[in-house]
Amino acid sequence: MIHPQTIANELMSELNALLGSAKKYGESDEITLKRFEAKARQLLKVNPVEGHNVLSTLSQLRGDLQKAVEHIDIALNLKAAAVLECNKASLLINFGKFLEAQRLFKSGATPERGEFTNRWRLGVCCGAWHILNDFCVVAKRMHLDLANVDQALIGRVVQLMDQNSIADQDLGGMLEIAGSILREERMYFVGQGPDIFVWDQDAIEKYVTITFHLPVTSRRAIELDRELGRRLFAEISDLPFAIMLHFESGLPSNERFAERSAEAR
């Protein structure tokens, strides 16, 4: 799951720890969440922007997309800050709303607003590869430090997409289907985003594999991956075969085959 950022560092660092360990919507202890909510309500009185930012994160933990968006929008209405736009993009990604996240990433992570080098992985998560590439050009012109930005990966993915006439919106449409499954299962993906593998060494066969790791056993991940493939073929008439989108188990190795262990007993 992607973590938001905030000025209220102590409170948000604790919430980020919960976000990092959350596997499914609403599995965090409600007593703990209510304790955080009380602190957030106090924060509202002195810093309403940060208060609503924190309440948005709490709503994410509860699996309430509508409330999460409501609070972050209030914060944005109070202060149109780039960090908040990126936070909204991150919560949309966490709920599998990748196309809308692309729009927020484009406006919030532009290098001129100071968030690009810290939040560029949001673009990877939502499939905004051309936007990332454009931002790299601008960042170089501004002489920003891009040591933490994987420019080589961005360039290879964009080249392959261009060779196959794939726009960011096309990829976002594929990711939306994956997101709909995540919402149905009420689960978050594991880690800070999908694994990206680019195969462009063959003159004939070139492709990008995007793999989201899920907090489920290998058997369940295979079932969900099959359903993802079925929906992609059924819902996208001109499915780009240069993009391979998959689910895999993101559980520790000793937990991935829980069914097999149970059957053996």
112: which 2 tokens? 């001129």
pLDDT band at 1 (very low <50, low <70, confident <90, very high): low
Q: What domains lie within the chain, and their CATH numbers?
A: 168-264 (3.30.70)
Query: Phi and psi of 247, rounded to 5°?
Result: -110, 140
What per-residue confidence (pLDDT) applies to 261? 52
> What pLDDT digit, counting tens, does each position of 220-254 carry?
999 999 999 999 999 999 999 999 999 999 999 88
129-165 per-residue burial string, b: 16 or more CB within 10 A, e: under 16? bbbbbebbeebeeeebebeebbeebbebbbebbeeee
Q: Tell me: the pLDDT tens digits for 134-187?
A: 999 999 999 999 999 999 999 999 999 999 999 999 999 999 999 999 999 999
Instruction: Report the pLDDT value the prediction gives residue 172, as an integer from 0 to 100.
Output: 98
pTM higher than the cut 0.85: yes
**Beta-carbon count within 10 A of 30 CB:** 11
Average pLDDT over residues 91-110: 98
